[in-house]
Structure 1
Amino acid sequence: MSIHMMTGLKCVRCGSEHPLCPIYSCPACGGILDVVYDYERIESKWRRGEVEEDDLLPLPASERVTIGEGNTPLVKADRLARRLGLETLYLKCEFANPTGSFKDRPVSMGVSMGVRFGQKRIIVASSGNGAAATSAYSARAGLQAVVLVPESTPAEKVKQSLAYGAKVIRVGGPYSNSFALAKEVGEKYGMFNVTSTFINPYTMEGDKSVAFEMHRQLNGRVPGLVYVPIGAGPLLVGIHKGYEELKKLGRASAVPRMAGIQAEGCSPIARAFLENRSEVESDPNPSTIAGGISDGLHGYAQDGTYVLECIRRSGGYSDYVNDDAIREAQGWLARDEGLFVEPSSAVCIAELKRSLESGRVSASETVTAILTGHGLKDMQRVETGGEAPLIPKRAESLVDLLEQDSRE
């Protein structure tokens, strides 16, 4: 059975092939499943001038549950580039998606496939952004959503999910506990799991659209490096796969190197890269202000190993930054470019600064950084650098205050 341009699923570990259905891992070995397309058919169609990016997605736009996700701005960040010592920097503003994060892309695809397969209930484990996206897109599709989040999830993200009518439940312990519970309950009670790790093969396909958009926005030019904040890492793999497919079909001249950046307090993939290991080990005790990427991969370290392989295949690298550097970079984005992002989004800028200073990255490189979530998502961790003073309704009071600020 084929659906749209998809022909089946293939295990990235053992290579076994499987039909398109609600399946979450390889029945033969438990490996990650990847969606396979009819590339010959797509290439033939594109050669006739009928180029449609939808051909490389599980479903055409007309069959997807949508709230207008995608087509986010790509901002040329000249002021921030000068601060960092870089000639060319682009920022892909994924926080401009309908629910405020990049998760709208994979969740839209996951919920759409759930509808296609006749599923009635959706379940997800999320550190917050995926929870909001799943709640919104399930509401849009008229499906019940059960959302499991770690107990440390910011109140803003919990309230956003509740606003869409989802059943939101906080689970004790780190994100990995929520992941394990969603997997167990979903399988036992027949709920369609759209957790955007690699458990659902269809969700990651939505992440590829970031690559397709950037390719159009840059008029076919390929960045030398694409920086992506990573927890489990499907966004990085999705962007890389998107560029690989564009190159395979003759639309892109190259595939960018991928830089997967983590927070020091939760960095299993980065540590494996830096220690030159072939396999990722889980982190049992994640602790960082970058909650959106605080995924210790406990119980599914193979996801991290898959991401590690992708990073190395691209010629890129992985590293981590501490919370102080993340806070500083968050401030740079806001004050230099007017972009207010959550801490997870700022890790790339913090690490880019360090790599430019060390010489790992050349100042002449063209870099794109993915800004994954809006700052309003995680206000409790925002450091504004000051308070808003209160004055009476008198012009003299305002002038005095402004003059005092100028003297300081």
Structure 2
Amino acid sequence: MNTTEAFVGLTCRDCGASVDAETGAHRCPECGGALDPTYDYERLNLARETFGDRRFESMWRYEELLPFDGDAAVTAGEGATQLVAAPSLAETMGVGHVLIKDEGRNPTGTVADRGLSVAVTAASQHGAETIALATTGNSGQSASAYASVAGLDSEVFVPSRTGFTNKAMINVHGGEMSVVEGRIGDAIANFEDEYGRNEEWYPARPFQTPYRHEGKKTLLYEIVEQLGWTVPDAVVYPTGEGAALVGAYKGASELHDLGLTDDVPALYAAQAEGCAPIVRAIEENRSIPEPWQQPDTICGGIEIPDPRAGEWLLEAIRETDGGAVSTDDEAILDAGIEIAQSVGLELSPSAAASVSGALELAERGAFDEGDTVVLVNTAAGNKESDVLRSHLMRKGI
């Protein structure tokens, strides 16, 4: 495998077992827990100038902190997305600065591209022929794109409610798609059944592969570097499965431990009221979230009733002095439209939960007057423009 100098293997989050990355690709062989890429940071000699001397054009500019050499990467130019100021929102929230990290500018219009770039690189390094996963939509489009770049096949299982754009582009990128009646849980069950009969498939669901959250940690690296190596006071993520927030926790911890930053940001999970297992776990002081019964939200991208790495998510929130917040669908869709009209950015309905969540957090006094708050737009609004337009029509606009 073409691995980087500091990458030493995989460590189980649950039992602490060390797993050879050459042979281990998925869950822990000892206990079935989630695996996390591990590094020997003493092998690195990194300074802020190390990255400042490189062109800001891809997340692979941080290759020393990723498992695989940039030359071996399966890439379509993901990362290096813009950090856009939202001054009117900052005024409304009563903080110093609000910036939106616009992941809709990635190759397939989603933050999933970061994780799938690393995961498909791993699959290619392991000699896989087929990538497979169940997804609410965006990750399926991304997986089929990166599998195609790598010359691999892809099998994507989506619930029937997945938007037309995701479904269409899965096929356009050459993926085989199974549309499963129902919601994401039904798609996952169908995928697991088929995976049991096709064990040569390389599963690419978050935390089933250890590489999805690893690619997403580069988003936090970029935010800090774009702010002149100043850590924002808070980062708010729309949260379903939670790979992006877990990645941010790991990325922020790495920068701090390497002496590149002086602090870590408070990390906040924003969910929809109709499916908020992380919010409820925080409110009830649980160490593991309970599965959400009867999820019901228009924001399908974050409608994950049982996050696979829920315990890790809660750790990320608590260890950074962050929090979790939920808002109703009306507030979420209103927030997406407000950003489109005041900032010009197109947020997906699910991603707009970061905006409505931040507004609610500000109302609760979570932020101070001079704070810099970063909101993450996890996917482009044109993927589900019909949802936002329908919301306007219901308002008679």
TM-score, normalisation: structure 2: 0.91
1:114/1:357 CA distance change after superposition, 3 Å: same
Pair 1:245-2:254 in alignment: yes
Q: Show the counterpart of 1:211.
A: 220
The Cα shift of 1:267 comes to 0.8
1:131 maps to 2:131? no
Contact 2:292 2:305 survives alignment (8 Å):
yes
Q: Secondary structure at the match of 2:109?
A: coil
In the alignment, the residues of structure 1 paired with residue 368 and residue 24 of structure 2 have an alpha-carbon distance, to the nearest angstrom, of 45
Q: Is the 8 A contact 2:2 2:125 kept in 1?
A: no
Query: Could you tell me how far apart the structure 1 residues matched to 2:25 and 2:94 are?
Result: 47
Residue 194, structure 1, aligned to residue 204, structure 2: yes
Deviation sequence 1:351-387 (CA, Å, 0-9, x none):
1112212223223221001101111111231136369
Could you tell me how far apart the structure 2 residues matched to 1:235 and 1:353 are? 21
- Which residue does the alignment assign to 2:362? 356
Structure 2 residue 19 is matched with structure 1 residue 12: no
Please identify, of 78-87 and 366-375, the stretch whose mean Cα deviation from structure 2 is larger: 78-87
> In the TM superposition, what is the alpha-carbon distance from 1:340 to its structure 2 partner?
1.2
Q: 1:28 aligns with which of 18, 27, 30?
A: 30
Larger CA Rg, structure 1 vs 2: 1
Cα distance change on mapping 1:286 and 1:202 into 2, 3 Å: same
- Given candidates 313, 332, 337, the residue that maps to 2:338 is 332
Q: Read off the aligned partner of 2:324 and give its amino acid letter.
A: S
CA distance in 1, matches of 2:50, 2:360: 44
Contact 1:271 1:319 in 2 (8 A): no
Aligned to 1:40: 42
Deviations 1:318-353 (A, max 9, x none): 121100110110111101100111111111110111
Question: CA separation of 1:302/1:345 partners in 2, compared to 1, >3 Å: closer, same or farther?
Answer: closer
Give 1:55's aligned residue: 64
Shift of residue 302 of structure 1? 4.9
CA distance in 2, matches of 1:17, 1:273: 30
| 1:215-364 pair list within 5 angstroms | 215-297=224-306, 301-364=307-370
Equivalent-residue separation in structure 1 for 2:24 and 2:147 (angstroms): 17
Alpha carbons of structure 1 residues 333 and 121: separation in structure 2 relative to 1, 3 Å: same
**Corresponding position of 1:380:** 386
Aligned to 2:156: 147
Name structure 1 gaps, 5 residues minimum: 388-404
- Contact kept, 8 Å, 1:185 with 1:191, in 2: the verdict is no
- Residue 344 of structure 1 aligns to a residue whose secondary structure is coil
* Cα deviation 1:77-127 (Å, max 9, x = unaligned): 112222333221111000000101111000111111111111011101111
Report if aligned partners of 2:148, 2:173 keep a CA contact under 8 Å in 1.
Answer: yes
Name the SS for the 1:343 alignment partner.
coil
CA offsets per residue over residues 220-266 of structure 1, 9 Å max, x none? 00001010011010100101111111111111111111001111111
Contact kept? 1:65, 1:112, Cα under 8 Å: yes
CA contact (8 A) 1:156 1:379 kept: no
Of 88, 93, 104, 1:95 maps to 104
Q: Counterparts of 2:36 and 2:92 in 1: how far apart (Å)?
A: 40
- Return the letter of the residue paired with 1:194: A
Distance in 2 (CA, whole Å) between partners of 1:378 and 1:223 is: 29
Moved more, 362-371 or 1-10: 1-10
State the distance in 2 between where 1:48 and 1:96 align: 25
Matched letter for residue 123 of structure 2: G
Q: 2 CA distance for matches of 1:48 and 1:370?
A: 23
RMSD, aligned α-carbons: 2.0
**Which structure 2 segments of 5+ residues have no match?**
52-60
Mapped to 2, the partners of 1:302 and 1:213 lie a distance apart of: 26
Q: Give the number of equivalent residue pairs.
A: 382
Partner of 1:73: 82
Q: In the aligned structure 1, how far is the partner of 2:47 from the partner of 2:330?
A: 51
